[in-house]
Structures are given as structure tokens and as C-alpha cells.
Structure 1
Amino acid sequence: MGCRKSTQNGSYPERRSSKETSRVGRKLKYAAAAIVAVTAGIYLNNSSLLAPHSGGKPVLLAHRGIAQRFDERNLRNDTCTAARMLPPSHDYLENTIRSMRASFDRGADIVEFDVHPTTDGEFAVFHDWTVDCRTDGQGVTREQAMARLKMLDIGYGYTADGGKTFPFRGKGIGLMPSLDEVLKTFPDRRFLINIKSRDPAEGEKLSAVLNQLPAERRKLIMVYGGDQPIEAVRRLSPETRTISRAAIKSCLVRYLGYGWTGIVPGACRNAIVLVPINYAPWLWGWPDRFLDRMAAANSAVFVLGPYQGGEFSTGVDDADTFRRLPENYSGGIWTNEIEAIARLTGR
């Protein structure tokens, strides 16, 4: 009779192979089930569809208030942007009380402005490191007294035709405000203050100013700028929301890495979270789940224009960029065109 030949221990190779195949099959099924379960868990933990929608209109941040726009191509840190002004459509000058008031009137929730310490213990609200480009003065801004800066014509250097005409010359005398003047003029308004240096002492000086304000007033102020002064602000005024360039990158990179767990990185806590619009869809839980997580971490989210390498992006400044936001988006929007974007949000 023909029969299968057994091995030395009496087992049959065909039967052992069948059992092993069955075990492997069960392991694969368990692994597949585990993968499906983990994937489903990640989806449920990060799906914006399952997150509550806060509703309401977006929070609009007017960068520099209503300002004169300029050619933004090939900019460097020392580029005189006033000499590259585009043909003006209004007569507002950035970082002025008049510009800030108009920004709030036209729908801004927050106005951003720049500060420099002065030799007489104040902070001047002015963008440039030196006064040479924009004014009729000379020298480093922080090496001058506020009283002297008040005498300058901040509209002196603006030109849209290569220096043939200067439409704001003589119209900006005395319009450079101090930080104290801004805070007293708008006691209940929200601001984002930009520290222009990398000097930690500047962060210490600004913290001293902020810490003298009532607690409710301090809640309306955020600060961003160089890593060193921002670290000083975080240390001395820990309740103030802040961000620096290094913190922005750390926040976004780490969130992309493990934000699926629901854990918010330390750099994203009590912070201003700036999100380029082309990166936003890659953030775990974008938009509502992400916004909820940041709000729980006492952070404010603002979408910027697209980041394309090099310098950080500009703002959401036109209808095409605005339409890239999710429908019914209720987070923050950073814009250089507050009038246009306010209209698009129905204000």
C-alpha cells in the first residue's frame, strides 16, 4: 500500500506546514485588525468632523495697521520699503494712532505694531532699525530720545516713482507715537507688539512695562520677536502670549510629528501660533480640532499667507488666498489688507 513517508519523529511535513500557515494567517489577521484599530483611533482623535465648531467670525489681525504697501520682491533686512511704495490708495501711515484707529473702525480685532526702546526710557512705535529711510532724521532708532523722535516727519521718505514725488512729505511730523501713548489711547483694545531686536534687555524692559498694567489689560497684549527678548518676556511675564521664530518652527514641526496623539508641544502653549496657509491642511485635526487644542493650551492661532521658503510668509491679503481657508473658519487671520479681508468676512 502506498502511504506518506513520515520523518524521524513520526510527524508529517504536510500537516506541520498547514498548521504553520494557519498560525501565520491568524497573526496577520490580528496585525491587520490592530492596524485598523490604531488607524481608526488616530482618525477619531484627529478628525475635525467630530470636533465641536466654535462658530463666530474669524479674528482679524491687522499687521502694522492700515499701511502703505510696497514691492515685496527680493527684500532684505536693510531694504528701504518706503522708497518702494506702491501707488497709494489712501493716506494712512503705518504704526500711527490714526492708522490703528482706522484699522479698528474697519474691522480689526487686533493691531500689530513695532517697538524700539529709547534713550529716555520709553518705547517708540516705529518699524525701522534706523530712521534714515522713512523720516527726515538720521541714526539708529533706539539710540535716540522719544522727544527727538517726536520731532521727525515719518512720511518724509515715501515715494512710488523712484524719488520724483513724495506724497506724504511734511504730513507725518510728530506722528510717531510712544508705546505708552498707544496703550492710553486704546485702553481696551487688543495688540500684538513686535520687538525688533535680539537684545534680551529689550524683553526685560518691555516686561517691566507690561507688568505695571492691570491683569485684565495684560491679557489683551501679545508679544513676538527675536528669540532672546521673547525668552525674557516668557520668563518675566509668563501669562503673556508670545512667539519667536525658533518657537514657531519648534511648535509646528513637533506638532506635525506627534500632534496625532493630542499632545500639544510646549512651544505651542501660551503662544501665538502662526500657520502658513499652505501648511495648515497638514496639521493634525485642522481646522476645528486643532483650534480647540490650541485654545485649551491658551494659544491664539493666526493663518498667514503661503510659506515658500526663505523669509516667513506675508498675510492673507486677497480674495484668492482668503478662499483657501476652510468654510466657516473661526480662527485668526493675519493680514496686511484689513479693509479687504474684513469685507470678505462680512464686516
Structure 2
Amino acid sequence: MPRLARFLLAPLLLTAIALLALAQTSRPASPPAVLATFGERPLVIAHRGGMGLWPENSLFAFERASALGVDMLEMDLHLSSDGEPVVIHDSRLERTTDGQGPVAARSLEQLQALDAGYHWTADGGQSYPYRGQGIRIPSLAEVLERLPDMPKVIEIKAPDVGLEARLCQLLEASGQRERVLVGSFHERSLQLFREQCPGVATSAGPGSVRLLVTLDWLGLGGLLSPSYQALQIPERHSGVPIASASLLRTARDCGLDVLLWTINEQPAMRRLLDLGARGLITDHPERALQLLGRSTRISSLSD
């Protein structure tokens, strides 16, 4: 019996020692400069520039959302065949443009010859008001140049093609290292970007989110020392609640800002803000601004 007790107690003791060491060395994340400038107010983040209002990931959308009064612009990056980061969500062209095939198979010039407003509709396909209006796929360089003062949430969509280095170069050249929050669903892209662009704020990758959710469930969230500054998470994933009150408390204790996506209805917006969400990533930023009692200026925006 003593041998069995020692056999069972030894791993428990080692685990307790490891947890104690983690508790003593854990450190909260440093506040990201891109979010610190807003103080404590809830943030309205235009998802792909506000794709419920205008053609997504276009300069047109970004400029209109900026004029609307949003706090941040969210956008997605792929790489053209000639090595230019371009702002588009899908890896293929069919859904949002009049082109076909992979984004990566075309040069920047070829991509920008396409109509990026071709498929946008607000009435289920009865009309396409932005066809032939000159809306095109922008390069990231253009977005940075046209909107240098707007804080941005940038997602790296394509791993293993050199996007991380090119993104870092463009942020350096434009002086916007402290104006962005970089995220990705690819952990290796985030790790590589952090190595190549130290000091630029990043959000957690999916593996890091799963770890934090697990630690929170075990009551051990305080042991974490995050290498990132924010969580970008959905309210639910595959029917399972993610954005719980407990997780948001744990995230705050770890120094993390929590941004919820993609939140388009006002009751959900209010519920998540009451839970402690720092920001709402939404296709309809006008609804979030209205909910927060902020002027949208939408009626003054001309087509």
C-alpha cells in the first residue's frame, strides 16, 4: 500500500510544484498601443470594412466605415503572384469579384483589373449597385497610405508564402507598427510574424485560444503568460459557448482585450458588452454605434 500511495502521490506532487512555479512566474500581457489610445470605451470594428453595408475589403468600404465613425477596420491578407499583400478574404476570386481562380495565381495588376463590387447585393440578388463602379481589390500598401491614422485589425490568411515578412516591411515603411493588431488562424504564421516583427500587437491563434479556454475551465487561467495581447473569438463555435463571463474575466486578468466576431444583431452586442467584451467586430458597424449612442453620420454619406 505505501508503494501504491507513493506511486499515486508522486505525479500529483510534481504537478503541484509545476503549477506553483507557473503561478509565481506568470505575467499579464502588456497593453497594446493600438488599443490603449481608446481608453476604456467599447470598440466598434468594421468587419472587412462593414461588409453588410458596402463591398467587403475595398478602399471604398474602408473609407466609408472610417467616415461613419468606427474605431477600427478589420481586413484580410493574401499574397499576389508577384509578392504584393492584397486585401481580400477568400483564397479564390469567384465570390467577391468577376474573376475566377486563385488569388495567388494573379499579379497585383491582374487582380486590380477585376471588379471587386461585382457580387455585392443588399436585396438577395435583385440588384447589384456597385457593379462597374471602379471598386477593386486594394493592395495593403494602398490601404496603409490612404488611411494611415485608422487603427486596423489585419488577418494573415495564407501561411508559408512570405506574408509575414512583407506585412512587417510595410508596417515599418509606413510607420504604422503601433496602429495594427495582427491575427491569423495559422499558429505558425503568428509565431513567425512575432519573431520577425517584435513589438507589434497580435491576437491569440486557435491553439492559444483552446489552451486559455481549457485553463479557465480548470480554474487555472491565472497561470498563463500570454505572448499575445488580444483574443478574437466568436460567441459560440460549433454550438459550444466560447465567450463566457468566466473566460472574459480570465482574459482581463491576463491583460487581454477580447474582441468578439462576427456580431451583427443589437441584442447580442449588448449582451456581450455587458459580459465585458472590449470590442465588437461587425458587418453592421452602424448598429453598434447606434447601440452605444454614438453618431453614425450614415445619412450624410453619399454614394
Question: TM-score normalized by structure 1?
Answer: 0.64
Partner of residue 222 from structure 1, selected from 181, 186, 200: 181
Aligned residues of 2:77 and 2:158 also touching (Cα < 8 A): no
Work out the percentage of aligned pairs sharing the same amino acid: 28
Partner of residue 301 from structure 1, selected from 243, 249, 258: 258
- Paired residue for 2:84? 122
2:45 counterpart of 1:61: yes
Assess, with a 3 A threshold, how the Cα gap between structure 1 residues 300 and 282 changes in structure 2: closer, same or farther. closer
- Paired residue for 1:177? 138
Partner of residue 244 from structure 1, selected from 179, 195, 205: 205
Question: 1:328 Cα shift?
Answer: 8.9
Please list the CA deviations of residues 252-298 of structure 1 after superposition, one character each: whole Å capped at 9, or x if unmatched: 323443445x33x24x44332134444433526x44x742x343xxx
Q: Secondary structure at the match of 2:162?
A: helix
Between Structure 1 and Structure 2, how many residues are aligned?
250
> In structure 2, what is the Cα distance between the partners aligned to 1:200 and 1:147?
19
> In structure 1, what is the Cα distance between the partners aligned to 2:165 and 2:291?
39
Question: 1:159 Cα shift?
Answer: 5.5
Structure 2 segments unaligned to the other structure (5+ residues): 1-37, 236-240, 295-303
Q: Which one is further off, 178-187 or 324-333?
A: 324-333
- Paired residue for 1:325? 272
Query: How do 1:246-325 residues align onto structure 2 when only pairs under 5 Å count?
Result: 246-259=207-220, 262-263=222-223, 265-266=224-225, 268-277=226-235, 278-283=241-246, 286-287=248-249, 290-291=251-252, 293-295=253-255, 299-304=256-261, 315-325=262-272
Assess, with a 3 A threshold, how the Cα gap between structure 1 residues 128 and 275 changes in structure 2: closer, same or farther. closer
Question: 1:164 Cα shift?
Answer: 6.7
Assess, with a 3 A threshold, how the Cα gap between structure 1 residues 123 and 276 changes in structure 2: closer, same or farther. closer
- Paired residue for 1:140? 102
- Paired residue for 1:341? 288
- Paired residue for 2:112? 150
Question: 1:183 Cα shift?
Answer: 0.5
Question: 1:246 Cα shift?
Answer: 2.0
Aligned residues of 1:303 and 1:316 also touching (Cα < 8 A): yes
Aligned residues of 1:158 and 1:167 also touching (Cα < 8 A): yes
Assess, with a 3 A threshold, how the Cα gap between structure 1 residues 346 and 131 changes in structure 2: closer, same or farther. same
Opposite residue 85 of structure 2, the aligned amino acid is F
Opposite residue 232 of structure 1, the aligned amino acid is L
Assess, with a 3 A threshold, how the Cα gap between structure 1 residues 236 and 336 changes in structure 2: closer, same or farther. same
> In structure 1, what is the Cα distance between the partners aligned to 2:105 and 2:279?
35
Please list the CA deviations of residues 31-82 of structure 1 after superposition, one character each: whole Å capped at 9, or x if unmatched: xxxxxxxxxxxxxxxxxxxxxxx984301222111214xxxxxxxxxxxxxx
Aligned residues of 1:302 and 1:334 also touching (Cα < 8 A): yes
Question: 1:330 Cα shift?
Answer: 6.7
Aligned residues of 2:49 and 2:75 also touching (Cα < 8 A): yes
Q: Which one is further off, 56-65 or 245-254?
A: 245-254
Question: 1:175 Cα shift?
Answer: 2.4
Structure ranking higher on relative contact order (CA contacts 8 Å, 6+ apart)? 2
Q: Secondary structure at the match of 1:194?
A: strand
> In structure 2, what is the Cα distance between the partners aligned to 1:204 and 1:157?
32
* Larger-Rg structure: 1
Question: 1:130 Cα shift?
Answer: 1.4
Opposite residue 271 of structure 1, the aligned amino acid is Q
Opposite residue 258 of structure 2, the aligned amino acid is V
Structure 1 segments unaligned to the other structure (5+ residues): 1-53, 69-89, 305-314
Opposite residue 119 of structure 2, the aligned amino acid is G
